[in-house]
Amino acid sequence: MLSKSAARLFFLGGTAVFSLVFLALTIDTLRQIPKRSNAEDMTDAVKRGHDLWTFNNCMGCHTLLGEGAYYAPELTKVVERRGKPWIRIFLKDPEAMFPGRRKMINYGFNDGEIEDLLAFFEWVGRIDTNGFPPEPDLAEKIQATQVVTRQTTSDHKALPQPEMFRTICMSCHALGGKGGVVGPALDTVAAKYSRAQLDLWLKNPQEVKPGTSMPKLPMDDTVRRELVDFLLSYQGGNE
Amino acid sequence: MKYRSQKIAWLFFATSLVLLVLQVLYGFIMGFAHMGYDVFHEWIPFNTARAVHTNLLVVWLLSGFMGSAYWVIPEEAGRELVSPKLALVQWASFVLVGVVAVIGFHFNWWEGRKFLEIPRPLDYLVVVNVLLFIGLVGATAWQGRRFTTTGITLLLGLVSAALLYLPGMYHFDNQVHDSYFRWWVVHLWVEGVWELIMGALLSYLLIKLTGVDREIIEKWLYVIVGITFLSGILGTGHHYYYIGAPEYWLMIGGIFSALEPLAFLGMAIFAMAMMRKGGRRHPNRCALHWTIGCAVLSFVGAGFLGMAHTLPQVNLWTHGTLVTAMHGHLAFWGAYAMIVFAMIMYTMPEMTGRNCYTGWIPEWAFLTSNIGMLAMTGAFAVAGITQVYLERKVGMDFLDVQDAVQVHFLGLVLAAALFALGIALFVWNFISFGLPADDLKDEPDQTERQPLKEAVT
Ligand code: HEM
Ligand code: HEM
Ligand SMILES: [Fe+2]
């Protein structure tokens, strides 16, 4: 049977051959990475964002490109998922967006640092990752098995959803059965509140109801008017 | 104990156990945080607890490997350690670097790269320390009378582990490069050169405990570490699927990493076969349990559970979920923690002259820690698979999914309590062995004097 010297040869030879193949593949990979990761778009802001990311060990709670810890959301596509306005508000005060839930550290980032992190996330989101993170492939099948009780899209009276509503409010509120669960569903607010009340509420919830977990969200007057119009129009609200 | 200087190993083993206990405490902090009781958030946020947990793991395993090397190398080389005094210095500086790093993690002083969190300035100290260590065992081996395969494999593993630390010290701006070379350390350690260390210690223990002829054991050692590198080097590709590296890694990483379990299977079969073949019934059964347990559980944790998520079609969904944590726990426990425990259990009676390897304490330490760890793996598995389905397949929000799997972390913490009980018993056992004595056992090993006849091929 196999002799000891043959076994040694197998070990040394195999190791040498496969190390060389690995080095060759590494060289080719290094050649391809700049293109696949759009290295030319790595501005100083992206690099500063990357340094903030490593300096604070965000990877100790989050995954990025699927690497890191399993305590907080995967962030590769966070800009696509949440949008920049949402992330800006969130990074200013993480607890505002998820009151009473799992805690992130409040780093007290200034506006410049937040823009750097956003630039970094945006750049990461465009890396060619061979399809990670994947699209949920069971979602459609599950929806297909459920009876549709409410036809939200054909509600002809409702105004189109403002951008702000989709990106910010929906993360805490549900509408038509979709959205977050931090705050109450907003389907029936039109019946509960007047225009003035809603306007006041959105301007500063803390003033109307001190200690509420709805945060004061930065928005200008036109956006606020749009939101109130939309809420009142939804589900045939009484103008 | 053949050489007086071998007893330096005791310091390293004691250090290992102290750090392990700390690691487990930080594990509990994270377990409770996942359960919704993040009570230490203000002082020890999750990322601190995690960095401490995993770095302590690496440091205590390395400490165990170093202790084992200081024990094995003099014996294999046939001489005293070249300088026990310097070995003491090496131990002290190693502990110092480890302690400073862990304290630093509590003050946001780290590098934010998983498993390689130790900040750059300390990295240089690690390098100096490891050079000193390699110098000491290397010089001992060099000046010794003989070069055995076991000794050489162990040294080769230690030297390559030191070399592979270097790619992890470079700073990259591009996250993809950063990740690419992080795996040169993390993957090529645990699925490459550390397996050399494990294989060498395994064959040392099998030679001592089963009495099978050294030539046969060492031949199979070559075959197994050969398979390790043959599959493990290109197997690195299983970490390159989805980080921005080229698409061919899906194929290469998939095929070669799927071969990696063979090396672990080889070790398990090899250990079982040698145990059966060995005619000698060494009185230290407990050391044999840990040795065989290591070979078997490393196959289950690294081989089987690694295989479960290594194919790209599966990994696309499980990548970066609690499924990885499930595999990480049993793999590290089975392969590396258990080999260190086996070395401790084998060397302590030799070192102290006390036979505390019989009775209920060592037996229950073995049983409860292993059952506890298997149950922990189960809890992680259920949580992980649920997470994959709800978050990745159905598209539910991350935090809602975490709420849904919270209950499995109650299971995790209960299992971890059983595990911790086993560790406590083991530590108690270690303490009851007492300090190393000075009596030397001069007679050469029975096996080396008269190789067993029935051990053919
Ligand atoms: C003793 C040996 C092993 C140990 C200690 C070990 C440990 C680990 C750890 C700690 C991770 C997480 C790494 C990180 O995300 O930074 C990991 C990931 C992984 N391991 Fe292992 N492993 C071992 C062997 C294996 C083997 C033999 C296979 C394949 C058959 C394997 C397949 C994988 C895969 C596919 C991942 C990536 C998971 C992901 O995408 O998130 N491992 N391993
Ligand atoms: C009381 C016992 C333990 C508990 C409660 C525990 C719990 C945990 C938790 C909650 C995580 C973090 C997962 C995440 O990122 O969300 C973790 C990570 C980890 N633990 Fe433990 N642990 C314990 C003991 C151990 C032991 C004994 C080992 C090694 C033998 C170990 C090895 C690891 C590794 C390698 C990771 C990183 C996993 C990865 O990145 O995939 N743990 N542990
Ligand atoms: Fe790996």
**pLDDT value at residue B242:** 97
CA nearest neighbour of A56 among A124, A123, A142, A117: A117
**How does pLDDT run across B334-375, given as a tens digit for each residue?**
999 999 999 999 999 999 988 889 889 999 999 999 999 999
Going from the Cα of B329 to the center of ligand 2, the distance in angstroms, rounded, reads 6
- Rounded to a whole number of angstroms, the distance from the CA of A60 to the nearest CA of chain B is 4
Rounded CA separation B102/B84 (Å):
27
Atom of ligand 2 nearest to the CA of B328: 35
A73 with B398: Cβ contact below 8 A = yes
End-to-end CA distance of chain B: 30
End-to-end Cα distance, chain A: 91
**Gap from CA of B234 to ligand 3 centroid (Å):** 10
* The predicted structure's pLDDT at residue A177: 80
Closest C-alpha among B134, B120, B126 to residue B97: B126
B27 CA from centroid of ligand 2 (Å): 6
A81-97 burial, b at 16+ Cβ within 10 Å, e below that, comes to bbbeebbbbbbbebebb
Distance in angstroms (rounded) separating the CA atoms of residues B228 and B225: 5
- State the pLDDT at residue A167: 83
Residue A156: what pLDDT?
52
**Encoded tokens for B320:** 């970066």
- Chain A nearest C-alpha distance from B413 (Å): 16
Q: Kindly give the residue spans of alpha helices, DSSP state H, lying in A146-220.
A: 163-167, 189-192, 195-203, 205-208
Give the number of the ligand closest to the Cα of residue B310. Answer: 1
Torsional sign, CA A96, B394, B406, B115: negative
Full residue range of the structural domain in which residue B208 is found:
4-456
CATH code, B74: 1.20.210.10
Amino acid found at A225: R
Minimal-distance CA residue of chain A relative to B383: A70
Q: Tell whether ipTM is more than 0.90.
A: yes
Helix, strand, coil percent values for chain A (each to nearest 5):
55, 5, 40
Distance of CA B411 to the CA centre of its chain: 25
| C-alpha of residue B328 to centroid of ligand 1, in Å | 6
Q: Which of B238, B259, B296, B329 to mutate to test the pocket of ligand 1 (most atoms within 8 A of CB)?
A: B238
Q: What pLDDT sits at residue B320?
A: 97
Q: Do B223 and A11 touch (CB under 8 A)?
A: yes
Query: What pLDDT is recorded for position B442?
Result: 59
* Chain A neighbors of B34, CB-CB under 8 A: 71
Both structure tokens of B217: 């054991």
B275: left (phi over 0), alpha (psi -120 to 50) or beta: alpha
* A16-21: long-range contacts, CB 8 A cutoff, minimum separation 24: A18/B229, A18/B230, A18/B233, A18/B234, A19/B229, A19/B233, A21/B233, A21/B234
CB-count exposure of residue B159 (10 Å: 0-12, 13-18, 19+)? middle
- What is the pLDDT at residue B163? 94
Chain B CB contacts of A71 below 8 Å:
30, 33-34, 46, 50
Name residues whose C-beta falls within 8 Å of residue B457's C-beta, 6 or more positions apart in sequence: A1, B216
C-alpha R_g of chain A: 25
Residue of A nearest to B110 (CA): A55
Task: Return the pLDDT at B455.
Answer: 41
pLDDT, mean of each 10-residue run, chain B (457 residues): 92 98 98 95 95 97 97 93 95 96 95 93 93 95 89 94 92 94 96 95 94 90 94 97 97 97 95 86 92 97 97 97 98 98 96 90 97 98 98 93 96 98 98 88 49 41
Q: Does B51 touch chain A (CB under 8 A)?
A: yes
Cβ of B117 closer than 6 Å to ligand 1, yes or no, is: no
Mean pLDDT of successive 10-residue segments in chain A (239 residues)?
A: 88 96 97 96 96 96 97 95 88 84 92 97 97 91 68 59 86 83 85 90 88 84 91 64
Contact assignment for A57 to B111 by CB distance below 8 Å? yes
**Residue showing tokens 């009378």:** B145
Residue A220 and residue B12: Cα distance in Å, rounded? 64
Q: Which residues are registered as beta bridge partners of A63?
A: A68, A74
Structural tokens at position A140? 């459609």
CA A142 to chain B, closest CA, distance in angstroms equals 8
Ligand 1 center from residue B323 Cα (angstroms)? 10
Q: How far off is chain A from B36, nearest CA to CA, in Å?
A: 7
The closest of B186, B207, B188 to B196, measured between CA atoms, is: B188
Model confidence pLDDT, tens digit, residues B290-323: 999 999 999 999 999 999 999 999 999 999 999 9
Instruction: Using the Cα atoms of residue A34, residue A37, residue A42 and residue A46 in order, give the sign of their dihedral.
Output: negative
- Give me the number of domains chain B comprises: 1
Contact (Cβ atoms closer than 8 angstroms) between residue B361 and residue B343: no
Task: Give pLDDT, residue B146.
Answer: 82
Tracing tokens 């709670």 back to the chain, one arrives at A61
pLDDT at A235: 66
Strand partners of residue A68:
A63
DSSP for B241-309 reads SSSS--THHHHHHHHHHHHHHHHHHHHHHHHHHHHHH-----S-HHHHHHHHHHHHHHIIIIIIHHHHT
**B176 closest CB neighbour out of A4, A63, A127:** A127
Q: Cis before residue A133, ω within 30 degrees of 0?
A: yes
Predicted structure pTM score: 0.91
CB atoms A54 and B111 under 8 Å: yes
Record: contact B250-A54, CB cut-off 8 A: no
State if residue B168 touches ligand 1 by the CB under 6 angstroms criterion.
no
Query: Quick one: how many helices (H) and strands (E) in chain B?
Result: 17, 0
B114 close contact with A: CB closer than 8 A: yes
